[in-house]
Structure 1
Amino acid sequence: MTEPEGAPPGGALRRRLGVGDAVVIGLGAMIGAGIFAALAPAAAAAGSGLLVALAVAGVVAYCNATSSARLAARYPASGGTYVYGRERLGPFWGYLAGWGFIVGKTASCAAMALTVGTYAWPGQAHAVAVAAVVALTAVNYAGVQKSALLTRVIVAVVLAVLAAVVVACIASGSVDPARLDAGPDLTWGGVLQAAGLLFFAFAGYARIATLGEEVRDPRRTIPRAIPIALGITLAVYACVAVAVLTVLGPRQLAQAAAPLSDAVRAADAGGLAPVVRAGAAVAALGSLLSLILGVSRTTLAMARDRHLPHALAAVHPRSHVPHRAELAVGAVVAVLAATADVREAIGFSSFGVLAYYAIANASAWTLTPAEGRPARPVPVLGLAGCLALAFALPVASVAWGATVLAVGATAYGIRRTHS
């Protein structure tokens, strides 16, 4: 599949990324600012069940990753579940997946940009956020290989910081395994809500699928890259969560504004706190880079089918990237980062992403064995898990997420009627 259906002449992207590049891009999306920020609200929801919530999120993410990998191998084109839903379930479901992804992840982009500003220069957070968006949009514009190279550097820095946090916590005399259970009683409602919040940090493997048109030998590369990236991320998150919990305990963790910084201070390694802050800023940059990359590719796919302005379907003749889509996404994110505080949008973004993966699992269910269908329980558990986590999120997140999906569905119906 050299040139996707609906692409303009000469509009195919160039396949340059191997397994290592794809894994790194997935790691850059997943091992990002989420681990620095998501542990506290998750602990507040799950209490002593935080590690159970992490495991639940990991299981759902595994099912989603497996379904996405099989579908991406079958349909190696930009757009991810937008393409899978369109091909397997019909145009409406593909459109709804793409709509939820673009709207939810655009809010996530702004949130990550503001996280960079908050950690790097709190007094000028909005200005730094806009500068970060402009700089990373320029990197993406220059070509996907340059994005992959920068992502390698960011992933290496963040992993080094997280390793330092884990070693500092475990090596300190403050470690007390009893603290793992020294929190509010475990309730399944709280565990599911925490898993939904933690899922936000796992969702980056979609970036590998949305780059399907730029990966070499996608039928082999994508199914290998997605589980590798997810497995590494789950292992890193589990190590960090255990280390922080054994130092702070669920109650103190739930109240922490900067959980990892508080953990190293509690472990008598306060000198690491500035390093952790710098690591959080770099991690947010990595998340922002991969988010802009993924949203622009889904925008490209939807523009090819004229669900968005067709001018956004252009591919640059030299850098072979969807340059107009990248500029449009960067401009919208920059405006949001300059004018609003959207960090509360994590729950809203999680709802949209969970809806996106629910459609991916439903699409995977329709694959035949000859098409590489996953084991039957995988898409079933993934679909049920996505719906359960989505509706376990805070009420405001569910309300806003459902409203945005309804607006998108209405726009689709109006467009179909007029056409």
Structure 2
Amino acid sequence: MEKKSYAELERALGLKDAVGIGLGAIIGAGIFVVTGVAAGISGPAFLVSLLLAGIVAAFNALSSAQLAAVYPQSGGTYEYGYRLLNPGLGFSAGWMFLISKLSAGSVVAIGFGSYFYQLVPIGSPLLYSLAAIIILTIANFFGIKKTGYLNLGIVSITVLSLVYLVIQGLPEIDSSNFKPFAPFGLSGIAEATALLFFAFTGYARIATLAEEVKDPKSTIPKAVIITIITAIILYALVSFTAIGVIGTEAMANSTSPLQMVANALANTEIKIIITIGASTAMLGVLLSQILGISRMMLAMGRRKDLFPVFQRVHNKNLVPHIGILITGTLITLLTLFGKFEIILSAAAFTILLYYSITNIAALNQPIKDRRYGQAIPLLGLTGCLTMAFSLDLLVIISGISILLVGFVLRYILHKVY
């Protein structure tokens, strides 16, 4: 067994907490924004795309669960890459995770400000965005158990608002909105599948926080499976309702399709409820990003792939306080000074490579550690690589360039430390 030469985090997350963190990472911009984009790409057939994306995500989720049960340390695929493949692939996974999640963190912070301003039109949306980053960063300092409780409260509000929308919307469905079902053919379904896959990738946050999960060998696989199944069902119900009430053309022409659905319903209070749900969804994702990024920084600091100061753990609260502080600072700067479009566009490619490494690591696990058979990671890897190299060439080049920058930084750090 590997000797621990570093301070460990507190194992305080139970099954309910782990599922809440997974759902908090998944139920965000995907369900409130990306469903509308997917509807424009494939028409009502984006329901098929949703199912296909969910299946590919499930393969990846099972690979993550299988690995996290055996290697329950912070870092997720970064850790698996190092242990089962080689340092280069391990570092690649960690660096790509950081880049994609930092840029996503600023996007959801801006999204929260935009939605919350509709509820309380005082000050400016940017002010609310910055307040959310500061408050959630501070909340992270109080320990994973308290953060888990906060996350469960946020996620519960989001899920209940979506369930309420479905209950109110189902009686108003017009079957003609589902015709023609696949106006853009198989190519539209395939493109929408790649887009919707990213909506499901938050399940891996459970693996990234594995060092803080109680009884990880049992809890993590259960939490990942419950999370992905719940997310697919919720996405499917909400998407079916949205198509039936307003149609895919209206969804595609709106940056907030679920609010359009709410506006179309006779119930006047539903609009406020959905705006509240959208606000808490953005908060949930932002909280999840701060959790995941700071734990990745911790893991990479331990191996000096980032500055060693990131491996510090607070003596009392047992959290990576330096990583949390730097994460909040970086997301604040990105929110203030721009979203870095090149990084955002490259994030799609980098996160697919991240999950490809997850599946390659699962394929390299010893037979005694495998839970689901080799077909699962093989199918997950095939899906990830197919989607990664079907992206625009500029996106691929941008992703590879960002990865090379990471390796230069790593080389310098290893020379210094």
Instruction: After TM superposition, list the pairs within 5 Å mapping 1:309-348 onto structure 2.
Output: 309-341=307-339, 347-348=345-346
For the residue of structure 2 that corresponds to 1:148, the secondary structure is: helix
Q: 1:78 aligns with which of 56, 61, 74?
A: 74
For the residue of structure 2 that corresponds to 1:142, the secondary structure is: coil
Under a length normalisation based on structure 1, what TM-score does the superposition of the two structures give? 0.93
The amino acid that maps onto 1:35 is I
Q: Which residue of structure 1 lines up, in the alignment, with residue 260 of structure 2?
A: 262
Residues 294, 327 of structure 2: 8 Å contact kept: yes
Q: Which residue of structure 2 lines up, in the alignment, with residue 34 of structure 1?
A: 30
Q: 2:349 aligns with which of 348, 351, 356?
A: 351
Stretch moving more, 286-295 or 271-280: 271-280
Stretch moving more, 397-406 or 315-324: 397-406
Deviation at 1:191, TM superposition (A): 2.4
Q: Which residue of structure 1 lines up, in the alignment, with residue 100 of structure 2?
A: 104
Q: Which residue of structure 2 lines up, in the alignment, with residue 144 of structure 1?
A: 144
Q: Which residue of structure 2 lines up, in the alignment, with residue 201 of structure 1?
A: 199
Deviation at 1:377, TM superposition (A): 1.3
Q: 1:342 to 1:236 in 2, by over 3 A?
A: farther
Residues 109, 130 of structure 2: 8 Å contact kept: yes
Instruction: After TM superposition, list the pairs within 5 Å mapping 1:237-248 onto structure 2.
Output: 237-248=235-246
Q: Which residue of structure 2 lines up, in the alignment, with residue 62 of structure 1?
A: 58
Q: Which residue of structure 1 lines up, in the alignment, with residue 115 of structure 2?
A: 119
The amino acid that maps onto 2:90 is G
- Residues 132-191 of structure 1 deviation map (CA, whole Å, 9 limit, x = unaligned): 11110111111111111011111111111101111121122xx12232233662333332
Residues 182, 251 of structure 1: 8 Å contact kept: no
Q: 1:332 to 1:14 in 2, by over 3 A?
A: same
For the residue of structure 1 that corresponds to 2:13, the secondary structure is: coil
Stretch moving more, 195-204 or 305-314: 195-204
Q: Which residue of structure 1 lines up, in the alignment, with residue 224 of structure 2?
A: 226
Deviation at 1:406, TM superposition (A): 3.1
Instruction: After TM superposition, list the pairs within 5 Å mapping 1:265-276 onto structure 2.
Output: 265-276=263-274
For 2:397 and 2:165, the matched residues in 1 are separated by 37
Residues 97, 356 of structure 1: 8 Å contact kept: yes
Give RMSD over aligned pairs: 2.1
For 1:270 and 1:398, the matched residues in 2 are separated by 45
Q: 1:346 to 1:233 in 2, by over 3 A?
A: farther
For 1:197 and 1:342, the matched residues in 2 are separated by 20
For the residue of structure 1 that corresponds to 2:269, the secondary structure is: helix
Q: Which residue of structure 2 lines up, in the alignment, with residue 408 of structure 1?
A: 406
Q: Which residue of structure 1 lines up, in the alignment, with residue 158 of structure 2?
A: 158
Residues 304, 413 of structure 2: 8 Å contact kept: no
Deviation at 1:7, TM superposition (A): 4.2
For 1:392 and 1:255, the matched residues in 2 are separated by 25
Residues 22, 227 of structure 2: 8 Å contact kept: yes
Q: 1:343 to 1:203 in 2, by over 3 A?
A: farther
Unaligned runs of 5+ in 1: none
Deviation at 1:212, TM superposition (A): 0.9
- Residues 284-303 of structure 1 deviation map (CA, whole Å, 9 limit, x = unaligned): 00110011101110110000
Under a length normalisation based on structure 2, what TM-score does the superposition of the two structures give? 0.93
- Residues 206-230 of structure 1 deviation map (CA, whole Å, 9 limit, x = unaligned): 1110111111111111111110111
For 2:197 and 2:286, the matched residues in 1 are separated by 17
Q: 1:345 to 1:53 in 2, by over 3 A?
A: farther
Residues 304, 414 of structure 2: 8 Å contact kept: no
Deviation at 1:395, TM superposition (A): 5.2
Q: 1:35 to 1:393 in 2, by over 3 A?
A: farther
**Aligned pair count?**
413
- Residues 356-387 of structure 1 deviation map (CA, whole Å, 9 limit, x = unaligned): 11100000001122112531111111011112
Q: 1:417 to 1:13 in 2, by over 3 A?
A: closer
For 2:393 and 2:36, the matched residues in 1 are separated by 19
For 1:103 and 1:405, the matched residues in 2 are separated by 9
For 2:359 and 2:395, the matched residues in 1 are separated by 22
For 1:77 and 1:160, the matched residues in 2 are separated by 32
- Residues 244-281 of structure 1 deviation map (CA, whole Å, 9 limit, x = unaligned): 01112222211122100111222333431122112111
Residues 306, 413 of structure 2: 8 Å contact kept: no
For 2:331 and 2:5, the matched residues in 1 are separated by 26
Q: Which residue of structure 2 lines up, in the alignment, with residue 91 of structure 1?
A: 87
Q: 1:159 to 1:212 in 2, by over 3 A?
A: same
For 1:253 and 1:184, the matched residues in 2 are separated by 15
For the residue of structure 1 that corresponds to 2:124, the secondary structure is: helix
Deviation at 1:72, TM superposition (A): 0.3
Unaligned runs of 5+ in 2: none
Q: Which residue of structure 2 lines up, in the alignment, with residue 364 of structure 1?
A: 362
